[in-house]
């Protein structure tokens, strides 16, 4: 991994960057409150800690928005122009801290959820705190902070909230973790999810198999048809994943299912695959096919990020930081949602490190100051020129 940026302010620890000891203490508070997405009580505790941190550093108490039992943290400016977007839920079950405790050693921060994406949440707060110290509360009036509680499970309750808050702003900055070497994420594939159900007819497989309609044969043929819908040149993947069929070893299966994960770079490709999946047949005579699901998140296309990336690259140069690089990724984030409603979006502004969703999850501490400084500069640039 390349060395972290070392602008003058990052080296000297002046008012442009966060106080590192304070920043790390805040991250420790966030990590210590485990917040697996499926545990709503744990997510509620985490939301309170996030809200406390925002109030402590910014002098304003955010709202906790509970939707279908899931808590999201929202601090909306009076005239917001910029949405700063993160999430406080993680993939780690309660009890993980006993095995993977928070630690900072040899310039590396570790702990469940630190990379994805609690350091990013702390960056939001500390970048705004720096701007508030230099420019007053007027900056906060032009920014909305939204930290959701269910991003890791598809933003099922927060999607409408994310889209509504993005729609009030001229730009969305997403504090998901950066790519290798600190790359910002300027393209994300869209995601579609399907559950295909083949319904046949059961029969005794020894006495009268001819009376049955074998759903397993149907779903097997479906899998081959699904694979043919992928387009490697266009970057479109169509991946059958979970399968299930049958009830007994001596019974013609009356039902079989297959889950399908689709990733596409463009809306046009998402729609092509969606139409094709809905036109498939059950794969065996007499069976019926039911298609559940559909397009989940639109792609974050390059055009949605181009202007913001150019701004960030110019600011990084002004700050004396190395040239920014960008990358396209297959994974989705809430940045897909903001781009999907037509809001310019830049993603991957958060932590630099690795091991998302893995036991070696970590953050390179040397990048924290410069990336928080860059975020503050980008927010100020966006709210200052009114473009």
Q: What is the pLDDT of residues 182-235, one digit of tens each?
A: 999 999 999 999 999 999 999 999 999 999 999 999 999 999 999 999 999 999
Query: Does residue 276 belong to any structural domain of this protein?
Result: yes
Nearest residue to 353 via CA among 139, 37, 119: 119
Instruction: Pick the last residue of a domain from 297, 314, 337.
Output: 297
Residues of the chain below pLDDT 70: 1-17, 386-387
Considering the domain architecture, whether residues 115 and 218 belong to the same structural domain is answered as no
State whether 196 and 110 are in the same domain: no
Is 196 in the same domain as 166? no
Strand 171-174 relative to strand 82-87, pairing = parallel
Residue 1 inside a domain? The answer is no
Asked if residue 207 and residue 63 are part of one domain, the reply reads: no
Count of domains forming the chain: 2
Q: What pLDDT score was predicted for residue 385?
A: 77
Q: Between the CA of residue 189 and those of 192, 211, 219, 298, 321, what are the distances in Å?
A: 10, 45, 27, 8, 29
Query: Domain for residue 369, yes or no?
Result: yes
Closest CA to 122 of 12, 27, 246: 27
Secondary structure of residue 73 in the 3-state scheme: strand
What single DSSP character describes residue 149?
S
* Domain shared by 180 and 321, yes or no: yes
DSSP reduced 3-state for 262: strand
Q: Is residue 45 part of a domain?
A: yes
Q: Flag whether 3 is in a domain.
A: no
Tell me if 191 sits within 8 A of 263, measured CB to CB: yes
Residue 170 lies in a domain: yes
pTM: predicted TM-score of the whole model, two decimal places: 0.90
CATH of the domain at 361: 3.40.630.10
Judge if 178 and 313 occupy the same domain. Answer: yes
pLDDT of residue 18: 82
Predicted pLDDT at 13: 35
Based on C-alpha coordinates, what's the Rg of the chain? 24
Instruction: Look at residues 297, 325, 343 and tell me which one is the last residue of a structural domain.
Output: 297
367 with 230, same domain? Answer: no
Q: How far apart are CA 377 and CA 371, in angstroms?
A: 10
Residues 175 and 307 in one domain: yes
CATH number for the domain that contains residue 288: 3.30.70.360
Q: Is 33 inside any structural domain?
A: yes
For residue 228, tell me if it sits in a domain: yes
Helix, strand, coil share (%) of the chain residues, nearest 5? 40, 25, 35
Same domain, 223 and 110: no
Instruction: Clarify whether residues 252 and 279 are in a common domain.
Output: yes
39 and 133 both lie in a single domain:
yes
Can you give the residue range of the structural domain that contains 231?
Answer: 190-297
- Domain end (from 245, 266, 297): 297
Q: Are residues 319 and 288 in the same domain?
A: no
* Ramachandran assignment for 34, one of left (phi > 0), alpha (psi -120 to 50 degrees), beta (any other): beta
């Amino acid at each position: 991994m390349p060395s972290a940026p070392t602008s003058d302010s990052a080296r000297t620890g002046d008012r442009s960057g966060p106080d590192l000891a304070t920043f790390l203490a805040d991250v420790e508070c966030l990590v210590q409150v485990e917040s697996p997405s499926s545990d709503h009580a744990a997510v509620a505790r985490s939301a309170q800690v996030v809200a406390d941190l925002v109030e402590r550093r910014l002098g304003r108490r955010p709202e906790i928005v509970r939707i279908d039992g899931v808590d999201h943290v929202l601090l909306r400016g009076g005239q917001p122009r910029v949405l700063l977007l993160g999430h406080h839920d993680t993939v780690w079950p309660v009890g993980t801290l006993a095995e993977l405790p928070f630690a900072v050693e040899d310039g590396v921060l570790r702990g469940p959820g630190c990379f994805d994406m609690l350091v990013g949440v702390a960056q939001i707060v500390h970048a705004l705190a720096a701007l508030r110290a230099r420019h007053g509360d007027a900056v906060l009036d032009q920014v909305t902070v939204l930290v959701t509680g269910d991003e890791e499970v598809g933003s099922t309750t927060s999607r409408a909230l994310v889209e509504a808050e993005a729609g009030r702003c001229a730009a969305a900055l997403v504090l998901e973790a950066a790519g290798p070497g600190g790359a910002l994420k300027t393209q994300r594939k869209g995601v579609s999810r399907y559950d295909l159900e083949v319904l046949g007819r059961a029969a005794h497989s020894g006495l009268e198999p001819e009376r049955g309609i074998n759903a397993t044969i149907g779903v097997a043929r479906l899998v081959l048809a699904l694979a043919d819908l992928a387009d490697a040149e266009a970057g479109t993947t169509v991946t059958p994943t979970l399968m299930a069929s049958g009830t007994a070893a001596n019974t013609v299966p009356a039902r079989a299912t297959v889950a399908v994960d689709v990733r596409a770079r463009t809306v046009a490709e998402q729609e092509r695959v969606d139409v094709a999946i809905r036109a498939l047949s059950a794969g065996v005579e007499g069976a019926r096919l039911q298609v559940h699901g559909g397009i989940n998140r639109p792609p974050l296309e390059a055009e949605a990020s181009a202007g913001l990336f150019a701004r960030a690259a110019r600011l990084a140069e002004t700050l004396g930081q190395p040239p920014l690089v960008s990358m396209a990724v297959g994974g989705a984030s809430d940045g897909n949602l903001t781009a999907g409603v037509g809001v310019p979006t830049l993603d991957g502004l958060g932590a630099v490190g690795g091991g998302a969703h893995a036991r070696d999850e970590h953050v390179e501490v040397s990048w924290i100051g410069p990336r928080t400084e860059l975020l503050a500069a980008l927010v100020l640039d966006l709210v200052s020129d009114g473009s």
